[in-house]
């Protein structure tokens, strides 16, 4: 393998290739890697220590220009800068994070999320077992964020499903299944506009009939004594919805693929359900479905002898850091008893994923049900992977499923 064969900016490596082997080559040969693109390029950090340092050093590695490559069409700085939690630097980040956390991730919301996920996952698993199988990526994985939306935003099922289609299109804007005959840019813009329109209508509705749901609470939230602006509410509704809908659903599907590749590990989990907590963390490390986040450096710096200029885009590859042999013993071994397991799937420091607690709740409930039911599964068709370098995803995962 050479650098000419590695394009982290495209989607083919992630949909049809082997990104894990590409990461390994980069860690060993070019840990600070310049990836050229048609409109310039970006740096890729693939070693654990470098990624961790970039998360922690928010003065040098800024989030304000956007966290996804190409996420803001024809705009050098993301329009969400300073308004959306993930595109905001300290000190404003802390104040915004507190408001979003209090609205959507307080104990009451977590209890409602647990109720919602329990109901949707059990219903979906009941049907899949009764049918003898189905499309796990659609029938089961999407039931996880559906339950969260029912519980935290108090959306009816039809609106939850609509929002999921929109967020999947936004993240999969380069995938033909979601963009159709439109260009990638057109698809991204349309999806973002549709999400804003979706939430704008909801915000007006909740202002007229407020409750204790996330949207109602955001309309009442303040930052430094000032009410959140309309755009701040919209951006952070989008932030929560996209992060919640896309990451755990793909983690669920890739977890099944992982168990299919490592059947002994699944048998061990069925025999020893007490390993569920460490198995869940190992699945987060192994799958790392949010592959990277983007930063821009605020001054000239040197990383491992490589000069990086002020303003350069730098990408932090969580999915590579999680396989760093210098940090994880037997990094290429899937070990459901691994402990400690300081993976970076949820980031680190101030930008540690605000929804990590929800993701763990969802996967805990799903894995618990799989073990309790003694679920068995095998492939029943072709696996279709998502054409995206930002979300390591599976569009379709046909399975035969039965309870032992």
Pairing state between β 40-45 and 313-317:
parallel
Cβ burial 138-173 (10 Å sphere, 16+ → b, else e): bbbbbbbbbbbbbbbbbbeeebbeebbebbbbbbbb
Could you tell me the pLDDT band of residue 231, with boundaries at 50, 70 and 90? very high
Give pLDDT, residue 299: 98
Q: Which of 27, 1, 52, 55 is nearest to 323 (CA)?
A: 27
C-alpha distances in Å from residue 71, one per residue of 283, 316, 340, 349, 354: 27, 16, 34, 23, 20
Q: Give the span between the Cα atoms of 367 and 248, in whole angstroms.
A: 12
251 with 284: CB under 8 angstroms?
yes
C-alpha distances in Å from residue 136, one per residue of 127, 144, 210, 217, 305: 11, 11, 36, 34, 45
Q: What is the model's pTM?
A: 0.96
Could you tell me the pLDDT band of residue 4, with boundaries at 50, 70 and 90? low
> What is the per-residue pLDDT across 176-206, written as a single tens digit (0 to 9) for each?
999 988 999 999 999 999 999 999 999 999 9
Q: Give the span between the Cα atoms of 189 and 348, in whole angstroms.
A: 30
Q: Give the span between the Cα atoms of 304 and 281, in whole angstroms.
A: 30
> What is the per-residue pLDDT across 61-92, written as a single tens digit (0 to 9) for each?
999 999 999 876 555 667 788 899 999 999 99
> What is the per-residue pLDDT across 99-133, written as a single tens digit (0 to 9) for each?
999 999 999 999 999 999 999 999 999 999 999 99
Strands of the sheet containing 398-403, edge to edge, are 133-135, 398-403, 375-379
pLDDT at 3 over 70: no
Class of domain 3-403: mainly alpha
Q: What mean pLDDT, rounded, does the chain reach?
A: 95
pLDDT at 368 over 90: yes
Average the pLDDT over 22-28 and give the result: 97
> What is the per-residue pLDDT across 315-335, written as a single tens digit (0 to 9) for each?
999 999 999 999 999 999 999
30 with 2: CB under 8 angstroms?
no
For residue 106, the cross-strand partners are none
Give pLDDT, residue 78: 72
Could you tell me the pLDDT band of residue 225, with boundaries at 50, 70 and 90? confident
Give pLDDT, residue 230: 94
> What is the per-residue pLDDT across 198-215, written as a single tens digit (0 to 9) for each?
999 999 999 999 999 999
């Amino acid at each position: 393998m050479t650098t000419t064969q590695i394009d982290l900016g495209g989607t083919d490596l992630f949909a049809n290739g082997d990104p894990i082997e590409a990461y390994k080559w980069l860690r060993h040969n070019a840990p600070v890697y310049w990836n050229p693109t048609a409109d310039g390029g970006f740096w890729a950090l693939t070693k654990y220590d470098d990624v961790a340092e970039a998360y922690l050093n928010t003065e040098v590695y800024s989030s304000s220009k956007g966290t996804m490559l190409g996420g803001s069409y024809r705009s050098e700085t993301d329009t969400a800068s300073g308004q959306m939690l993930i595109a905001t630097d300290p000190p404003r980040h802390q104040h915004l994070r507190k408001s979003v956390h209090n609205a959507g991730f307080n104990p009451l919301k977590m209890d409602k999320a647990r109720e919602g996920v329990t109901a949707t996952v059990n219903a979906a698993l009941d049907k899949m077992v009764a049918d003898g199988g189905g499309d796990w990526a659609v029938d089961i994985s999407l039931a996880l964020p559906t339950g969260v939306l029912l519980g935290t935003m108090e959306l009816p099922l039809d609106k939850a499903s609509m929002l999921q289609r929109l967020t999947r299109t936004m993240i999969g804007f380069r995938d033909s299944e979601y963009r159709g005959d439109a260009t990638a840019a057109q698809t991204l813009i349309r999806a973002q506009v549709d999400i804003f329109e979706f939430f704008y209508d909801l915000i007006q509705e909740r202002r007229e009939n407020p409750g204790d749901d996330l949207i109602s609470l955001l309309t009442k939230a303040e930052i430094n004594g000032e009410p959140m602006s309309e755009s701040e509410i919209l951006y952070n509704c989008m932030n929560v919805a996209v992060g919640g809908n896309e990451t755990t659903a793909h983690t669920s599907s890739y977890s099944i693929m992982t168990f299919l590749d490592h059947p002994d590990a699944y048998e061990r989990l069925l025999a020893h359900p007490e390993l569920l907590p460490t198995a869940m963390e190992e699945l987060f490390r192994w799958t790392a479905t949010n592959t990277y986040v983007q930063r821009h450096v605020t001054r000239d710096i040197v990383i491992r002898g490589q000069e990086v200029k002020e303003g350069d885009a730098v990408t932090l590859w969580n999915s590579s850091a999680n396989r760093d042999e210098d940090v994880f013993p037997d990094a290429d071994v899937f070990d459901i008893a691994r402990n400690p397991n300081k993976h970076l799937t949820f980031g680190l420091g101030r930008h540690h994923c605000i929804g990590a607690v929800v993701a763990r709740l969802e996967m805990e409930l799903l894995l618990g049900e799989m073990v309790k039911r003694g679920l068995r599964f095998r492939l029943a068709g072709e696996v279709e992977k998502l054409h995206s370098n930002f979300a390591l995803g599976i569009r379709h995962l046909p399975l035969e499923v039965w309870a032992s």
